[in-house]
């Protein structure tokens, strides 16, 4: 039977609860335990699919095609596991389920209420997420204690804990200890209030994890322990560290995993964090630094492209390098020579995106890369822009466009990127994309094949438009290598320029599958191209 670790937060949001949960998962895995995660998101959206990445960060796509909270990305990367639809539950899903059951008459005329019906649905979702029987199920509640929308989840956690044996569940509470800059004082009052709030809701934390700028002094630990009804060793300190990858070690050094395992009566094996430490060291102390440009639409907030930034960092660390990514707002590249903005970079990446805004800036940047030999990696929308650029400037179709960029009925002869299903029909906004893992067969002569080392690969998708199959031959005739295709439908999955230049684009999002200890092969190949481009620039 699985053991459950609940993680709640207090004082402020965006404290790094996801990273702490993911770190704990990693440590427990390194002790030989099977772990899984559940993220409970109190917002009303059914999933993160329709949420603006500017507000909420990246939409993380799972193998089974769920559009989830970016914390699932932390979990997958840190613990090196694969999660799915059941591992992220929102209020919208819970209410949707309860309301559907009400319409079906499942409640036999009862009054349908938050308690018991909504709360029961949440408890069921927790059990469902643990259906594969992990040794440890980590359940993180989004938001902070006291949020109105979080209350049904808090009540569900309370009941869940009540129904379990003491040694089957543990509750960790994460808080911020704000510092006063003038007096260099760390304040505990908000944390105390947060502990109080938790008690009001009938929850008792077993451990308190404190985020602060500075390491915690002993008197402070004792004070917090006293007010939180804990022993001092159960107050854990996570000060600002070099990088987030230092968090697992920080928790482990304070015996968090050992204390949790003791409480949950799990085998007291040793954690082996050495490969992880090496990775963190490589990130913190690189031997060289290179700089690349990423041209996107949510450039103001790196969290909108979280997995991409991570995939680049993993590949760079493997080469003992740091790759600085300068996010450039796509519109800045409109109507100006790309050289003015892109000179001096060792690579260009065009990430996924939606809508017309910024499209011509991206096309402009890609042209520059193609013409000057700058290593280029296009992801999803990046592939679509690369096809349009190639059509316009190489295939002699200056009017080439994407159906996504035209308001009315696009002229099919000019539309190189098209909607294959729902042709011409308005589509609803949520849940209508090609999502999740899709197979791709690689051309054996391609750079992509060389990178992956196998012919049949699978990557996660999240898009609505496709390269128009009717244009594929034209692209080929003008020298573009269609390096990957879906083995069943023949849809274009990857393209590249043959020859020396690294100019590769994929319709998928390989960034979702990169791991700190297992950098993604395509990103590694891209990184090698970037490093040699930087060498060339240095020697010339
Ligand atoms: N907007 C494009 C599509 O829907 C690309 C999506 C993406 O980059 N994820 O096909």
Verify that 79 and 214 share a domain, yes or no.
yes
Place of tokens 């559940």: 38
Q: Are residues 30 and 106 in the same domain?
A: yes
Q: What is the CATH number of the domain that holds 442?
A: 3.40.50.880
pLDDT at residue number 299: 61
Please identify which residue in the block is written with the tokens 């051309």: 443
Backbone Cα Rg of the chain: 25
| Cβ proximity of 176 and 15 under 8 Å | yes
Q: Which atom of ligand 1 is nearest to the CA of 351?
A: 8
264 shares its domain with 348: no
Bridge partners for 236 per DSSP? 209
Q: Determine contact, residues 441/484, Cβ cutoff 8 Å.
A: yes
Residue 407: predicted pLDDT: 79
Q: Based on the domain organization, do 411 and 328 belong to the same domain?
A: yes
Domain identity same for 296 and 274: no
Active site residue 511: yes
Assess whether 440 carries a catalytic annotation. Answer: no
Whether 502 lines ligand 1, by a CB cut-off of 6 Å, is: no
Q: Strand ranges (DSSP E) for 331-433?
A: 348-350, 376-379, 401-402, 415-418
Determine the pLDDT at residue 298.
66
DSSP designation for 69: -
Residue 127 makes CB contacts below 8 A (sequence gap 6+) with: none
> How many structural domains comprise the chain?
2
* Pocket flag, ligand 1, residue 526 (CB < 6 Å): no
Phi, psi (degrees; rounded to nearest 5) at 185: -105, 140
Q: Which of 231, 257, 278 is the last residue of a domain?
A: 278
Question: Do 320 and 287 form a contact (C-beta atoms < 8 A)?
Answer: yes
Are 166 and 262 in a shared domain? yes
- Cβ pair 482, 446 in contact under 8 A: no
Of 301, 371, 293, the C-alpha closest to 333 is 293
327 and 375 in a single domain? The answer is yes
Domain-terminating residue out of 212, 247, 278: 278
- Residue 493 and residue 535 share a domain: yes
Say yes or no: 290 and 228 in one domain. Answer: no
Report the alpha-carbon distance of residue 252 to residue 226 in Å, rounded.
Answer: 23
Tell me what pLDDT residue 55 has: 76
- Closest residue by Cα to atom 7, ligand 1, is 352
Which of 58, 380, 428, 431 to mutate to test ligand 1, by most ligand atoms within 8 A of the CB atom? 380
User: Does 239 lie in the same domain as 256?
Assistant: yes
Same domain, 290 and 263: no
State which of 226, 252, 278 marks the end of a domain: 278
pLDDT tens, the chain, 540 aa long: 999 999 999 878 778 899 999 999 999 999 999 999 999 999 999 888 888 877 778 999 999 999 999 999 999 999 999 999 999 999 999 999 999 999 999 999 999 999 999 999 999 999 999 999 999 999 999 999 989 999 999 999 999 999 999 999 999 999 999 988 787 788 889 999 999 999 999 999 999 999 998 899 999 999 999 999 999 999 999 999 999 999 999 999 999 999 999 999 999 899 999 999 999 999 999 999 999 999 988 666 778 899 999 999 999 999 999 999 999 999 999 989 999 999 999 999 999 998 988 999 999 999 999 999 999 999 999 999 999 999 999 999 999 999 999 877 778 899 999 988 644 344 444 456 889 999 999 999 999 999 999 999 999 999 999 999 999 999 999 999 999 999 999 999 999 999 999 999 999 999 999 999 999 999 999 999 999 999 998 887
**Residues shown for the chain:** 540
| 354 close to ligand 1 (CB < 6 Angstrom) | yes
Pocket test for ligand 1, best of 308, 463, 468 (most atoms within 8 A of CB): 463
CATH number of the domain where residue 91 is located? 3.40.50.300
Q: Ligand 1: which residue has its CA nearest to atom 9?
A: 352
Quote the CA–CA distance of 176 and 399 in Å, as a whole number.
54
378 lines ligand 1 (CB under 6 A): no
**How much distance in Å is there from the Cα of 384 to the middle of ligand 1?**
8
Query: If we measure between CA atoms, which residue out of 133, 95, 97, 123 comes closest to residue 3?
Result: 133
pLDDT at 429: 46
For residue 426, the model assigns a pLDDT of: 41
The answer to whether 534 and 290 have CB atoms below 8 angstroms apart is yes
Joined tokens for residue 423: 């042709």
3-state helix vs strand vs coil in the chain, percent to 5? 45, 20, 35
Tokens 């395992």 correspond to 261
Check whether residue 161 and residue 294 sit in a common domain.
Answer: no
Question: Ligand 1 pocket: which of 48, 352, 388, 506 to mutate (most atoms <8 Å of CB)?
Answer: 352
Burial of 137 (0-12, 13-18, 19+ CB in 10 A): buried
Domain span at residue 187 reads 3-278
Prior bond to 116 cis, omega within 30?
yes
């Amino acid at each position: 039977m699985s053991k459950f670790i609940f993680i709640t937060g207090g004082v402020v949001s965006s404290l790094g609860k996801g990273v702490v949960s993911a770190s704990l998962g990693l440590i427990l895995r390194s002790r030989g335990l099977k772990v899984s995660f559940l993220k409970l998101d109190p917002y009303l959206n059914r999933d993160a699919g329709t949420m603006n990445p500017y507000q909420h960060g990246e939409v993380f796509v799972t193998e089974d095609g769920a559009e989830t909270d970016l914390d699932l990305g932390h979990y997958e990367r840190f613990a090196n596991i694969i999660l799915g639809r059941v591992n992220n539950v929102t209020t919208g899903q819970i209410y949707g389920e309860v309301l559907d059951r009400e319409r079906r008459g499942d409640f036999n005329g009862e009054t349908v209420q938050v308690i018991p019906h909504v709360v029961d649905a949440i408890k069921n979702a927790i059990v469902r997420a643990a259906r594969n029987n992990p040794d440890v199920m980590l359940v993180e509640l989004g938001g902070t204690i006291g949020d109105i929308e979080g209350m049904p989840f808090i009540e569900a956690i309370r009941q869940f804990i009540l129904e379990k044996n003491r040694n089957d569940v543990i509750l960790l509470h994460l808080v911020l200890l704000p510092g006063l800059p003038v007096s260099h004082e760390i304040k505990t009052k908000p944390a105390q209030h947060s502990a109080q709030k938790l008690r009001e809701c009938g929850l008792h934390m077993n451990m308190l994890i404190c985020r602060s700028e500075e390491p915690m002094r002993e008197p402070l630990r004792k004070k917090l322990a006293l007010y939180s009804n804990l022993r001092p060793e159960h107050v854990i300190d996570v000060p600002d560290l070099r990088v987030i990858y230092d968090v697992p070690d920080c928790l482990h050094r304070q015996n968090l995993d050992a204390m949790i395992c003791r409480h949950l009566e799990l085998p007291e094996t040793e954690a082996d964090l050495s490969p992880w430490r090496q990775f963190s060291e490589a990130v913190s102390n690189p031997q060289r630094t290179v700089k690349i440009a990423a041209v996107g639409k949510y450039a103001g907030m790196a969290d909108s492209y979280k997995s991409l930034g991570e995939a680049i960092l993993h590949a760079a660390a493997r080469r003992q390098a740091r790759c600085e990514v300068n996010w450039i707002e796509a519109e800045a590249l409109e109507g100006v020579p790309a050289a003015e903005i892109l000179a001096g970079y060792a690579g260009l990446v065009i990430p996924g995106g939606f809508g017309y805004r910024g499209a011509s800036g991206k096309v402009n940047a890609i042209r520059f890369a193609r013409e000057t030999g700058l290593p280029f990696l296009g992801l999803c929308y990046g592939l679509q822009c690369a096809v349009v650029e190639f059509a316009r400037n190489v295939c002699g179709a200056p009017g080439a466009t994407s159906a996504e960029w035209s308001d009315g009925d696009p002229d099919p002869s000019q539309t190189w990127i098209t909607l294959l299903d729902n042709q011409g029909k308005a589509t609803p906004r949520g849940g209508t994309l090609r999502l999740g893992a899709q197979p791709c067969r690689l051309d054996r002569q391609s750079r992509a094949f060389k990178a992956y080392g196998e012919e049949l690969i699978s990557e996660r998708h999240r898009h609505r438009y496709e390269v128009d199959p009717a244009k594929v031959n034209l692209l080929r005739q003008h020298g573009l290598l269609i390096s990957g295709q879906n083995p069943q439908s023949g849809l274009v999955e990857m393209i590249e320029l043959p020859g020396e230049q690294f100019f590769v684009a994929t319709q998928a999002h390989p960034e979702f599958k990169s791991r700190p200890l297992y950098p993604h092969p395509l990103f590694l190949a891209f990184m090698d191209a970037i490093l040699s481009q930087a060498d060339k620039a240095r020697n010339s």
